[in-house]
Amino acid sequence: MSLSYIGSELELFSNAINWKAYVARQIGRFVSGRVLDVGAGIGSNISYLSGPSVTEWVALEPDAALAARIAGEVAKGELPNSCRVINGTVDTLASTEQFDTILYMDVIEHIADDAVELQRAADHLAPRGRLVVLAPAHQFLFSPFDAAIGHYRRYTAGSLRRAGPRDCRVEFCRMLDSVGFFASLANRILLRSAQPSLAQIGFWDRVMVPLSRVADPASGFTFGKSVAVVWSRGN
Question: pLDDT of 185-215, one tens digit each?
Answer: 877 765 566 677 888 889 999 999 999 999 9
Which pLDDT does position 67 carry in this prediction?
96
| DSSP one-letter string for 106-126 | S-GGG-SSHHHHHHHHHTTEE
What are the structural domains of the chain? 10-232 (3.40.50.150)
Q: Which residues contact 232 (CB under 8 A, 6 or more apart)?
A: 128, 129, 130, 131, 168, 169, 171
Which pLDDT does position 73 carry in this prediction?
95
| DSSP one-letter string for 203-221 | HIIIIIHHHHHHHHHHTTT
Q: Which residues contact 233 (CB under 8 A, 6 or more apart)?
A: 122, 125, 126, 127, 128, 129, 130, 131, 167, 168
Which pLDDT does position 157 carry in this prediction?
96
Which pLDDT does position 198 carry in this prediction?
85
Residue 64 CB neighbour total at 10 angstroms: 14
Distance between CA atoms of residues 182 and 3, nearest Å: 34
Q: How many residues does the chain have?
A: 235
Which pLDDT does position 76 carry in this prediction?
95
Task: Say which DSSP state 200 is in.
Answer: H
Q: Going residue by residue through the chain, which has 235 residues, state the pLDDT in tens, using 9 for 90 and above.
A: 556 665 556 888 888 999 999 999 999 999 999 999 999 999 999 999 998 999 999 999 999 999 999 999 999 999 999 999 999 999 999 999 999 999 999 999 999 999 999 999 999 999 999 999 999 999 998 988 888 888 999 999 999 999 999 999 999 999 999 999 988 887 776 556 667 788 888 999 999 999 999 999 999 999 999 999 999 997 5
